[in-house]
A and B are shown apart, each in its own frame.
Chain A
């Protein structure tokens, strides 16, 4: 009985090994470095994030895959949008000129707020409902739609695009704050809190603005 069990385990392990396909080193490295970059960026570790991005970019360059390189840049732009920051899109434009890929360009337009130039089917499925609402600029629907996006990063990106490109209110900002806080994403959290403080100040709600300011000061210590 013991012999049969041992032989069965060996056969199982061998079968596992023989079926598995070896992932190229560069692709694996690019993936892992990009994931590390995302985590470091969102958690506010600026010094650590950029080297990871560079490594991801270099790894993708090694594979001579411009599509992959373009997606790495789009990931970076998406994170900046999620943190309400501007980004330098020159590298993506260069890549797109050499090897234009419709889905990448659609995502780029989506991040830049050119909603009419975006074909819905080319966007990730997360945003299929959001893009329609964004085109109609319906804030009330957006407040309902955004929390229904499953992926928290996609939810934050949607908030970022809305706040940067369309008229917003405190509900959207609060949604983004909640997403950031739930995941411990310090960088977007501070950005949305600052935006919320400015929102209150613009409307003369100084007490609320002051409260947000104090909260920010405490969090940044």
Chain B
């Protein structure tokens, strides 16, 4: 086989493969599928954009193809639904524009009765609007008002606390405040404690003196005891000599 023949064969094969790939991709992308166009209406075109997804049960089934304004000032929204998804669009389907707080806006399709007849392309249902952002803002508005009110109250309270703190400062640390008074009292107490030290020393001294005195008392007591004993003996001697006293007898009365 000649060289030219081989090159020709390679180019033809490559071209065929490329064409087949392109055809496959085109098919997969729905190039050959039939697309149905439905028209929706809305009083405002705000938030609608071309290419906006049309969602059924969380799945993309189509997208907004074009936006037009008719003679009556109504916005017409043309959506394209491929043939395989057109079964979800029925006469009793409702369309709602959903603007979530986070994420892109989309048109939600809700079909309560899938058994109802398919929606004709000339029917123009109106699109309802669910606006999470506005709802959130509406809900947040009173909260914001309340927060503002609270902030004002806090500010007022803070001013009062400030004033009170100033007064307390004055009362505690002021010239005639509590702390200087306490200091004064403590100084007084300290002074008195010092005086008490002297008193305690005196008491110790007195106690020592008394203790020493007690020794004298003991000596005195023993002296007195001796004297009493001597006197007692003398008395007994005299008693014995003079009165012939009989031996005392302890009897029961």
- Are the C-beta atoms of A75 and B248 separated by less than 8 Å? no
B241 touches A74 (CB 8 A): no
Sorting the interface of chain B by its residue count into under 10, 10 to 19, 20 to 34 or 35 or more gives 10 to 19
Tell whether A124 pairs with B248 under 8 Å between CB atoms, given A13-B241, A17-B241: no
Among B244, B247, B249, B253, which residue has its beta carbon within 8 angstroms of that of A154? B253
Q: A78 contacts B252, CB within 8 Å? A: yes
1/0 per position for A7-39, CB-CB distance to B under 8 A? 000000100110111110001101110100010
**A72 in contact with B253 given A16-B241, A20-B241, A28-B236 (CB within 8 Å):** no
Give the CA-CA distance A124 to B253 in the complex, in Å. Answer: 8
Name the contact of A27 in the complex, choosing from B242, B245, B247, B252 (C-beta under 8 A). B247
Cβ contact within 8 Å between A28 and B253: no
Are A31 and B244 in contact, CB atoms less than 8 angstroms apart?
no
State how many angstroms separate the Cβ of B120 from the closest Cβ of chain A: 124
Q: Is the CB of A153 within 8 A of B253?
A: yes
Q: Which of chain A's residues have a CB closer than 8 A to the CB of B250?
A: 30-31, 34, 60, 68, 71-72, 75
Q: Are A71 and B252 touching (Cβ within 8 A)?
A: yes
| A185 CB to nearest chain B CB (Å) | 12
Contact of B253 among A16, A104, A151 (CB under 8 A): A151
A107 within 8 A of B: yes
Report whether B248 and A31 are in contact in the complex, using a CB–CB cutoff of 8 Å: yes
Question: Is A75 touching B253 in the complex (CB atoms < 8 A)?
Answer: yes
Tell me if A161 is interfacial: C-beta within 8 Å of chain B: no
Contact partners of B248 in chain A: CB under 8 A: 23, 27-28, 31-32
Residue B251, interface by CB 8 Å? yes
Q: Mark A104-127, 1 if CB is under 8 A from B, else 0.
A: 100100000000000000001000
Interface string of A78-95 (1 = CB under 8 A from B): 110000000000000000
Question: Does A159 have its Cβ within 8 Å of any Cβ on chain B?
Answer: no
Q: Which residues of B contact A17 (CB under 8 A)?
A: 240-241
Which B199-253 residues have C-beta < 8 A from chain A?
236, 240-242, 244-245, 247-253
CB atoms of A75 and B236 under 8 A apart: no
When each residue 142-165 of chain A gets 1 if its CB lies under 8 Å from chain B and 0 otherwise, what string results? Answer: 000000000101100100000000
**How far in angstroms is the closest Cβ of chain A from B9?**
143
Q: Is the interface of B mostly helix, strand, loop or mixed?
A: loop
CA distance A2 to B241 in the complex (A): 23
Among A19, A38, A72, A107, the residue within 8 A (CB) of B244 is A19
By beta carbon, the residue of chain B nearest A156 is B253
**Once the chains bind, are B247 and A21 in contact (CB under 8 Å)?**
yes
Closest-CB distance, B247 to chain A (whole angstroms): 5
Whole-angstrom distance between the Cβ of A141 and the nearest chain B Cβ: 22
B242 — which chain A residues lie within 8 A by C-beta? 16
Please name all residues of chain A whose beta carbon is closer than 8 Å to the beta carbon of B240 when the two chains form the complex. 17, 20, 22-23
Q: Would you call A20 and B252 a contact (CB within 8 A)? A: no
Do residues B244 and A20 form an inter-chain contact, with CB atoms below 8 A?
yes
Which chain B residues border A68 with CB–CB below 8 Å?
A: 250
Chain A residues contacting B247 (CB-CB under 8 Å) are 21, 23, 27
Closest chain-A Cβ to B151's Cβ sits at a distance in Å of 83
| CB 8 Å contact bits of A38-56 with B (1 = contact, 0 = none) | 1000000000000000000
B145 to chain A, nearest CB (A): 87
- Of chain A, the residue at the smallest CB distance from B240 is A20
Considering the chains assembled together, what is the distance between the CA atoms of A75 and B252 in angstroms?
6
Cβ of A47 to closest chain B Cβ, rounded Å? 20
What's the nearest-Cβ distance from chain A to residue B248, in Å? 4
Which residue of B is nearest A60, CB measured? Answer: B250
Q: Report chain B residues within 8 Å CB of A79.
A: 253
Least Cβ distance of A107 to chain B in Å?
Answer: 5
18 contacts between A and B (CB under 8 A): A16-B244, A17-B240, A20-B241, A23-B240, A23-B245, A27-B247, A28-B248, A31-B248, A34-B250, A38-B253, A71-B252, A75-B252, A75-B253, A78-B253, A104-B252, A151-B253, A153-B253, A157-B253
Seen from chain B, the residues whose Cβ lies within 8 Å of a Cβ on chain A are: 236, 240-242, 244-245, 247-253
Given contacts A17-B240, A38-B253, A71-B252, 10 further A-B contacts (CB under 8 A): A13-B241, A20-B245, A23-B245, A28-B236, A28-B248, A34-B250, A68-B250, A72-B250, A78-B252, A154-B253
3 tightest A-B contacts by CB?
Answer: A31-B248, A153-B253, A20-B240
